[in-house]
Structure 1
Amino acid sequence: MSTTIAPAGSPSETSLWKGHTSQWVHFWYYFFCLLLAAGCGVAAVATGGLAAIGLVVPLLMWIIRWWVTKCTAYELTTQRLKISSGILNRKLEELELFRVKDYAMDQPLFLRMMGLGNLTLITSDMSTPTVEINAIPGVEGVREMLRTAVQAERDRKRVRELDVGGDGGDALVA
């Protein structure tokens, strides 16, 4: 059994926020599944119940979409953003907060009516240059937590973003 010991002087990492994408983001998809199920129900009456077997298709479509969305989780800590996804095979993507260059909050009308919003991060990370966290509740608070955590992590690591040249290319400099 191995034990990992944090280096002396390194702060402990604490969780600031955990969340999932809301199922409201799939409203039209679920609505289509309901229409498809209704069509199968009408066809079942016309075919003497034979078309009722078709109800399995919209039901499976609904369940799979719900499950995939539910199995994608986000966790914002004081040092990283962790994104875990996958139903059978799990994938964990970690983004160091000092690599976040910019963030934008977006609240389309439908999501705003539900108290939800989208958060888009532009990063200097090679594997994930853009991260989208869609349809999360309390997006304003999450954005503020992210902003504070990014600044604190940059200060802790002594990293600053530097605009070089007029082409808009950015670099992180220690």
Structure 2
Amino acid sequence: MNDTADSPDSAAANVTAKPAQATNDEDGNSILWRASPGQVVHLPLYCVVVVLAAIPAIYAPGVYAFGALLPLAVCAWYVIATRCIRYTLTEQLLRRRSGVLNRRVEEIELYRVEDTSAVAPLLYRLYGRGNVEISSNDESTPKLTLRAIRQYDEVRHQIRDRVEAMRQSKGARLVESE
């Protein structure tokens, strides 16, 4: 829903293709993939809000009908907050930007990634989305979840390929301890 793909036909496009316009981020790194989570993340909340907003709108007399606006305002906040989340994969790092009023940027250097996994709950699968969970040995961001993204399995494989390429270029190896 919020991915950078322009049409439904481009959902089947190869995720390794670079975007046509902005190919570099603010640090000069090539952008390999960019997306936002889908609104399906909060779909159960949206359903509850519709019911809560309908009750005062239907049954409350006059001025009390404005009580329907509070649940709708909460819903609007979640929509805006979800739209303000942006995931970016570059040649060297994975970045998550979030926040409406206060911005937060979390980055994981790709050579620090230890493990990736794809998780697709039923509700997400109905909308063609899933999560990519990333574990790293980065102290500030040891775990990062890319929530409700399209082509989640392809993105996971692309991240793994970039992790291996970064490890080879930096001469880094993953040391597993028991």
TM-score class, shorter: 0.7 to 0.9
Q: How high is the TM-score relative to the length of structure 2?
A: 0.81
Q: Shift of residue 101 of structure 1?
A: 0.1
Contact residue 20 and residue 73 of structure 1 kept, 8 A: yes
Contact residue 114 and residue 137 of structure 2 kept, 8 A: yes
Match of 2:18 in 1: none
Identify unmatched segments of 5+ residues in structure 2: 1-27
Contact residue 57 and residue 66 of structure 2 kept, 8 A: no
| Equivalence map 1:62-141=2 (5 Å) | 62-141=75-154
Q: Using the aligned pairs only, state the percent identity.
A: 36
Contact residue 84 and residue 93 of structure 1 kept, 8 A: yes
* CA distance in 1: counterparts of 2:121 and 2:83, whole angstroms: 22
1:16 aligned to 2:32? yes
Match of 1:36 in 2: 52
* CA distance in 1: counterparts of 2:174 and 2:105, whole angstroms: 26
Task: Find 2:167's aligned residue among 139, 154, 164.
Answer: 154
Q: Tell me which structure has the larger Cα radius of gyration.
A: 1
Q: CA RMSD in A?
A: 1.1
Q: Which has the higher strand share?
A: 1
Q: Shift of residue 50 of structure 1?
A: 2.2
Identify unmatched segments of 5+ residues in structure 1: 1-11, 168-174
Aligned pairs, number = 151
Match of 1:8 in 2: none
* CA distance in 2: counterparts of 1:91 and 1:60, whole angstroms: 23
Contact residue 40 and residue 52 of structure 1 kept, 8 A: yes
Match of 1:7 in 2: none
After TM superposition, what 4+ stretches of structure 1 lie above 4 angstroms from structure 2? none
Q: Shift of residue 160 of structure 1?
A: 0.4
* CA distance in 1: counterparts of 2:123 and 2:105, whole angstroms: 30
Q: Which amino acid aligns with 1:40?
A: P
* CA distance in 2: counterparts of 1:38 and 1:122, whole angstroms: 42
Equivalent position SS for 2:175: strand
Q: Which amino acid aligns with 1:13?
A: N
